[in-house]
Structure 1
Amino acid sequence: MSQPSFTNTLPIDIEAVDGSLSRDPPKGSPDESTLQRLEKLEPLAVDKNGSESNVDIKPQPVKDIEDFPDGGLRAWLVVFGAMCNTFSTFGFVNAWGTFQAYYQTNALKNVSPSNIAWIGSIQFSLIFLPGLIVGRLFDLGHFRVVYMPSVALIIVATFLVPECKEYWQFLLCQGFAVGLGCGGIYSSNTAVIAHWFRRRRGLALGLITVGASIGGIFFPIVIRSLIVNVGFAWCMRILGFILIFTLGLGSITVRRRLPPVKGSLRGIFDLTFFKSSAYTIYCLSGFIAFLGMYTALTFINTSAILYGVPAGFAVYLTSIANGTSGIARYLSGYLSDRVGSMNVMIPCVTVAAIMTYAWPFARSEASLIIVAIIYGFSSGAYISLLVNPILAMGGNGNIGHRIGMAVTVLGLGALFGPPISGAINHVTGGFPVVGYYAGDIVMVAVVLLCITRHLMLGKIWGRV
């Protein structure tokens, strides 16, 4: 059988592979770079009789598991579902200041503010503390095994809160149960974004944290209104139905994309992560930051009432802070893709520390609004970008485990921060010393963030 001629039938456009190559055959043996370019060409098709067919050869991009959609309907639906999840978890927990003010004057008026603060502190810290286990299970492919029971736990606990009469009952339902449910969702809800986005990852993470701010605006206003109009019991039941709807949307739309890694839970306490100095110091900075970061948001309503601001107005301070936080979360995500996450976080955390110093001395409605706006914006930017540096410290195979280990450390700071502030308030009889303590703590975190940045970048200027 005569061999077919391919001279005119194979339109090999070498210029499409690399414009620097000529159509003339190279003289002598091809160099290594030329061979690497030619390897990108698809091989000739061979039919079942073993003869080569005349096909067009065009350079094809290498497709592998690391290709990221970085957009498209399915990817943005994941972002929408993750926003619904943060609305229902972080947003709900961010309304704790409203519950703190209500419990101090009603259901738990005989309990000290510091003890009441433990409910919110446990609730908030448990968003992070289960991250070590949840993140590892996510890497192993067990996303929904953890996610669906967590959704059920949040909803059931919310319906049980109005049945509570004693302090320990509130602590169990609203502190531990709601907190654990939120923790079962948070780490994997963040890690799944790394499956769908790379180039626009900062924007995607910023958008999902906007859900927390929307919840932080929505829940305090709705809680206050419902308590006044239908009472606390029906307030919590209505909140339960709202959570059924929003968490249901999240369960429908949020999905993994990449295959699971091989392994087991035996390596869950993988301390090799801490061989990285940048990772270790970043985790330490987060732990210290959370000892003071949420002090102002937790007590701004209570301090406003103490200084004579009407309770009906004070409840909106939390919503104002969360509203500006939502704007910051979007803008910081957008900016981080352009200038780097750490370059956005460090100045924002510095401003948050300054506002923490200023908060106890804001004693009029106007000054409290200013503090709430600036504090909400700066703290929101930090929370929005919290996991971005962690994503940059390794690959995608163990992304859930790496995030989980870090947020577990952060959660310890969130656990002890507000109760320490409440105890200082109880001992000193006011909030100025609380502001000094929390502000100093956050400034220490700023120094550690600067050290982390230098370790990651290795120089003064640059994007990281």
Structure 2
Amino acid sequence: MSSPTKAEHTVARTPSVRSHKSQYSSTSEKRAAPTLAPVGHSDSTIANEKGDMTTTAAAWATDEILEDDSVPPLDTSRYGYVIVFCGFMIYFVVFGTEHTFGVYQQFATSDAAPEFLHGASSERVAMIGTLATTFTYLLGMLSGRFVDQYGYRAAAIVGSCIMAAGLIGASFAQNIATLYGCQGFLLGIGSSLVYLPAVACPAHWFDRHRSAAIGIVVSGSGFGGLVLGPTIEHLISSVGFRWTLRLQGLLCLIGIGGSGLFLKTRLPRLPGEANKKPPMDFRICKQVPFITLATANFLLSLGYMIPFFFLSTYSVHIGLTPKTGALLIGLMNGASLLGRIILGFVTDRVGRINMLCLCATVSGLSILCLWPVAKSTGVLVVFSLLYGWHCGGFYAVLGSVIAQLFGLDHLGTVTGALFGSVGLGYLIGAPVSGILLDMTKPNTTYLWVILFSGISMLFGGAAIAFGLIFLRRYRVAQ
């Protein structure tokens, strides 16, 4: 009897070309509809909830990969840490830029704003930032296809140029429509091309520590908000908002474009194969894991940002000071930042899908159980820390779960498609919460906003739990 092969985390040491055929491929010309792979299948990307699955095969396509002694090892390659650092820097700039739009909004509605913004309502100005965030996620599938077709490096560089063009173009704006087009639409397109390589590329370099690696990457968004917020505020008061936009565009070129130069997959493709990758088999979108994860993303994103938007005004509403409200938001962001990093490390030990379900459920329960009864600073501090910790952990774990369930070959497209449901939830959640709050005037109450946020997130956790039960029963059936 031949000895068992090495763990899936290692690569063949003898120079060879292997053709990986996954469970979603057929030996005939006409491929069969995608089905979940039985557990134990050598090319299965759905193994167990702890993430012990192979990453050397595509989830639904045949892909020839050259493996020899020059291929870096999985999980232990030093270049993998370079990939994580570059992803962190990209998230730092991309989401640091988007999350600090409030600084520009505060300036645009002040007396120091340029003449064409005088009289513009807060809602009209806020739409600039909303457009950027919405297009970042809604264009995910198209951007993901670009990533899979032309590579992580090309997508990051092209995206950084588009972001820079949007910010620099906005610096010459003479009307608010130009800001919509440049700081909203163009910035969103560029961001969509850029964040996918950052969050997807580490999955090619890590398996056992994949959640930890992605957790470090996505924590860059929190650091970016902490650093760029006061920096932009200082620059606007020092050099004006136009030069601040130009300097921020330059940061995109250097920070994102420079980091993008180092992005690459661990397994090199055969010469001439890079631009011949077949399109994703969209029948995978009919599979239960995809449907449940997309549904969960949508439901969670409906309520995800509501505590960040309304906790400060809620604290003032119950008699606390604006300074206390700002402190609570800072605590929530800090807890979210730590949760992304620490829960990423913990997840690789306790199971990725398990942790995803736990983070979503605890986030929803903390909103429903703590926020409605929070009438003092102490309770609000506990809520801020508990919610921030788990909501941050959710998005740290999500990327590794996507790689676990759907493989690496079309990871950009699948990640973009699933994050598209996040963008849709953000687009709907904020206006609905505003309408719910306005409906209670003049006797304003936050109860309906709190219920909308908590129930949405709790249903999102239930969707993930349903998917987890389905996977376990499927394995038993096999």
Could you say which TM-score interval applies, normalised by the shorter chain?
0.7 to 0.9
Instruction: Tell me, yes or no, if structure 1 residue 434 matches structure 2 residue 435.
Output: no
* Partner in structure 1 of residue 363 of structure 2: 352
Residue 407 of structure 1 aligns with an amino acid whose one-letter code is F
Distance 1:228 1:362 in 2: 37
Residue 343 of structure 1 aligns with an amino acid whose one-letter code is N
Give the counterpart of 1:76 among 54, 57, 81. Answer: 81
**Structure 1 residue 363: deviation in Å?**
7.0
SS at match of 1:217: helix
Give the counterpart of 1:145 among 151, 154, 168. Answer: 154
In structure 2, do the counterparts of structure 1 residues 121 and 337 end up closer, same or farther at CA, with 3 Å as the change threshold? Answer: same
Give the counterpart of 1:296 among 291, 307, 325. Answer: 307
Distance 1:109 1:359 in 2: 37
In structure 2, do the counterparts of structure 1 residues 231 and 340 end up closer, same or farther at CA, with 3 Å as the change threshold? Answer: same
Instruction: Tell me, yes or no, if structure 1 residue 425 matches structure 2 residue 425.
Output: no
User: Quick check: 141-150 or 185-194, which moved more?
Assistant: 141-150
**Structure 1 residue 307: deviation in Å?**
6.3
5+ unaligned residues in a row in structure 1: which ranges? 1-31, 43-62
Q: What is the TM-score of this pair, normalised by structure 2? A: 0.73
**Structure 1 residue 328: deviation in Å?**
0.6
Instruction: Tell me, yes or no, if structure 1 residue 183 matches structure 2 residue 183.
Output: no
* Partner in structure 1 of residue 36 of structure 2: none
**Structure 1 residue 113: deviation in Å?**
5.2
* Partner in structure 2 of residue 221 of structure 1: 230
Give the counterpart of 2:471 among 434, 456, 461. Answer: 456
1:121-270 correspondence to structure 2 within 5 Å: 121-164=130-173, 166-227=175-236, 232-259=241-268, 267=279, 270=281
Distance 1:196 1:378 in 2: 26
1:251-330 correspondence to structure 2 within 5 Å: 251-259=260-268, 267=279, 270-303=281-314, 314-315=325-326, 317-330=328-341
User: Quick check: 345-354 or 445-454, which moved more?
Assistant: 345-354
Distance 2:99 2:404 in 1: 27
**Structure 1 residue 252: deviation in Å?**
3.5
User: Quick check: 150-159 or 64-73, which moved more?
Assistant: 64-73
Distance 2:202 2:236 in 1: 36
The alignment covers a number of residue pairs equal to 407
**Structure 1 residue 161: deviation in Å?**
4.0
Residue 411 of structure 1 aligns with an amino acid whose one-letter code is G
Give the counterpart of 1:389 among 401, 408, 418. Answer: 401
In structure 2, do the counterparts of structure 1 residues 72 and 422 end up closer, same or farther at CA, with 3 Å as the change threshold? Answer: same
Tell which structure's C-alpha radius of gyration is larger: 1
CA displacement, residues 385-428 of structure 1 (integer Å, 9 cap, x when unaligned): 12222111133222222222222232221222222223333343
In structure 2, do the counterparts of structure 1 residues 67 and 402 end up closer, same or farther at CA, with 3 Å as the change threshold? Answer: farther
CA displacement, residues 32-60 of structure 1 (integer Å, 9 cap, x when unaligned): 447999xx999xxxxxxxxxxxxxxxxxx
**Structure 1 residue 353: deviation in Å?**
2.1
**Structure 1 residue 84: deviation in Å?**
0.2
Distance 2:107 2:381 in 1: 20
**Structure 1 residue 115: deviation in Å?**
4.9
Residue 373 of structure 1 aligns with an amino acid whose one-letter code is L
**Structure 1 residue 352: deviation in Å?**
2.2
Q: Check conservation: 1:128, 1:407, Cα contact below 8 A.
A: yes
Distance 2:325 2:5 in 1: 67
In structure 2, do the counterparts of structure 1 residues 380 and 97 end up closer, same or farther at CA, with 3 Å as the change threshold? Answer: farther
**Structure 1 residue 203: deviation in Å?**
1.1
Residue 291 of structure 1 aligns with an amino acid whose one-letter code is L
Residue 231 of structure 2 aligns with an amino acid whose one-letter code is V
CA displacement, residues 110-164 of structure 1 (integer Å, 9 cap, x when unaligned): 5555555443333223222222122223223443333222102222323344554
* Partner in structure 1 of residue 389 of structure 2: 377
User: Quick check: 194-203 or 217-226, which moved more?
Assistant: 217-226
* Partner in structure 2 of residue 26 of structure 1: none
In structure 2, do the counterparts of structure 1 residues 109 and 349 end up closer, same or farther at CA, with 3 Å as the change threshold? Answer: farther
Aligned Cα RMSD in Å? 3.6
Distance 1:77 1:172 in 2: 34
In structure 2, do the counterparts of structure 1 residues 365 and 342 end up closer, same or farther at CA, with 3 Å as the change threshold? Answer: same
Amino-acid identity (%): 24
Distance 1:387 1:90 in 2: 16
* Partner in structure 2 of residue 90 of structure 1: 95
User: Quick check: 326-335 or 99-108, which moved more?
Assistant: 99-108
Residue 73 of structure 1 aligns with an amino acid whose one-letter code is R
Give the counterpart of 2:416 among 404, 423, 435. Answer: 404
In structure 2, do the counterparts of structure 1 residues 180 and 316 end up closer, same or farther at CA, with 3 Å as the change threshold? Answer: farther
Distance 1:35 1:254 in 2: 34
CA displacement, residues 222-243 of structure 1 (integer Å, 9 cap, x when unaligned): 3444455655445444444444
Give the counterpart of 1:336 among 347, 353, 364. Answer: 347
Distance 1:389 1:36 in 2: 25
Q: Check conservation: 1:135, 1:400, Cα contact below 8 A.
A: yes
SS at match of 1:257: coil
SS at match of 1:76: helix
Q: Check conservation: 2:86, 2:260, Cα contact below 8 A.
A: yes
SS at match of 1:126: helix
SS at match of 1:254: coil
In structure 2, do the counterparts of structure 1 residues 353 and 41 end up closer, same or farther at CA, with 3 Å as the change threshold? Answer: closer
User: Quick check: 305-314 or 331-340, which moved more?
Assistant: 305-314
